Amino acid sequence: MDTSGVLGLFAELAADAGEKILEIYHDDFSVEYKHDNTPVTMADRLSNEIILRGLKKEYPGIPVLAEESADDPSRLLKEYCFIVDPLDGTKEFVSRNDEFTVNIALARNGVPVAGLIYVPVLGEFYYASENRGAFWHRGKEKEKPLRVSSRIGDIRLAVSRHHRTRELDMLIKKNRIRNIVVIGSAYKACLLARGDVEAYYRFGKTMEWDTAAMQVIVIEAGGIFMDMDGKPFVYNKPDPENPTGFYLVNRPENMLTY
């Protein structure tokens, strides 16, 4: 399978989904809450429908693991699996702070090999495929290569708006971090891949659809993506929850003590 070729489809579907998301975003919408008390809106559901319909049309033999869809156990028997978060940062969407994304990835034998993150409000696409580098563009501009910062020391740390934990506060204090960039959703990984921050540490629960696209983008941009045990995440598991927190850094020298 051509892992770079699939990115064109991801971009097309993310743009279509993003158009529907923005249509709802700029209108009145209601918010419901799932069993785990996380918010969900019509934008999440309609984006999911658009992306899944497009993936299944072009690749009917590849199963999809998506946040807003019932699980398909047959995916565990397949070499490839699409992993989709149709609206990452629903809390950002509900807060209307513009910091939400559409995340689509392809995993092969448990490893993400292609991924795209789209930022609807900004019209920005970030994408990468295995061994072919990472790139981004805005609207119809020419694509630009993504490369992590070469900065060592006095790093800029990306921090979530809604997932600030005691462990993160201790990390900041212990490592004397002075430069903190508060930003929502998977856009934090885009900033790291673009060289605008040097680290992002996330403690606590995440799911495969939260991290698959960002992982391949950061790695192809020259960065490091590991779980808190120093191992890469495995995807298309029976339980799609990531077992630990994770961290992204631009260089080994900037790995923090926790």
44-61 per-position pLDDT tens digit = 999 999 999 999 999 999
Q: What percent of the chain has pLDDT over 90?
A: 94
Would the pLDDT of 2 be above 90? no
**What is the predicted pLDDT for the residue at 3?**
87
Fold of 6-145: Fructose-1,6-Bisphosphatase; Chain A, domain 1 (3.30.540)
Q: What is the pTM of this model?
A: 0.97
pLDDT at position 248: 98
| Class of 156-254 in CATH | alpha beta
The residue with greater pLDDT, 182 or 37, is: 182
The mean pLDDT of the chain is 96
The ranges of the chain annotated as CATH 3.30.540.10 are 6-145
Q: Which of 16-20, 54-58, 139-143 has the lowest mean pLDDT?
A: 139-143
DSSP assignments along the chain, one per residue: --TTTHHHHHHHHHHHHHHHHHHHHTS----EE-TTS-EE-HHHHHHHHHHHHHHHHH-TTS-EEETTS---GGGGG-SEEEEEEEEE-HHHHHHT-S--EEEEEEEETTEEEEEEEEETTTTEEEEEETTS-EEEEETTSPPEE-------SS-EEEE-SS---HHHHHHHHHTT--EEEE--TTHHHHHHHHTS-SEEEE-S-EEHHHHHHHHHHHHHTT-EEEETTS-----S-SS-EESS-EEEESSGGGPPP-
> Over 80: is that where the pLDDT of 163 sits?
no
What pLDDT does residue 44 have? 97
> Range(s) for CATH 3.40.190.80 in the chain?
156-254
Mean pLDDT value across residues 111-119: 98
As a whole number of angstroms, the distance between CA 173 and CA 37 comes to 30
